[in-house]
Homo-oligomer: A and B are copies of this chain.
Amino acid sequence: MQLYPKKKIEMVVEAARAPRLLEMIEAAGAKGYTVIPEVSGKGNRGLRNEAHISDVFRNVMIITITTEEIAERIVEESQRMLENFAGIVYVSDVSVVRDEHF
């Protein structure tokens, strides 16, 4: 079976930030995304809010599978958009069968 390498981007962000990020993801050229609503967690609230680094906050997880080129655009843009907000972004390698879906 032929598999095609893609990049998976996962973002955990405050729910209120999600709509703008999803628009950006589509504008960057990704063909789709999945949203897991209402995840919770502790973690980064951004470089400028280190005092609150362990606050509990409610957020969503956004998952996108796309090409390496589009992934790089999304990750870069996400850094700008999340600079003053809670949120983490990470990237990993996945393989897909249907190259044309991503």
Which label, helix, strand, loop or mixed, suits the secondary structure of the A interface? Answer: strand
How many chain A residues touch B (CB < 8 A): the figure is: 45
User: A31 and B43 in contact (CB under 8 A), knowing A90-B8, A92-B93?
Assistant: yes
Residues of B near A1 (CB, < 8 A) are: 72, 75-76
- Asked if A94 contacts B91 (CB within 8 A), the reply is yes
A sample of 22 inter-chain contacts (CB < 8 A) reads A3-B91, A31-B44, A31-B53, A32-B44, A32-B88, A34-B39, A34-B40, A34-B41, A34-B59, A35-B40, A35-B41, A36-B36, A36-B39, A36-B61, A37-B39, A37-B40, A43-B101, A65-B90, A79-B97, A88-B102, A91-B96, A92-B94
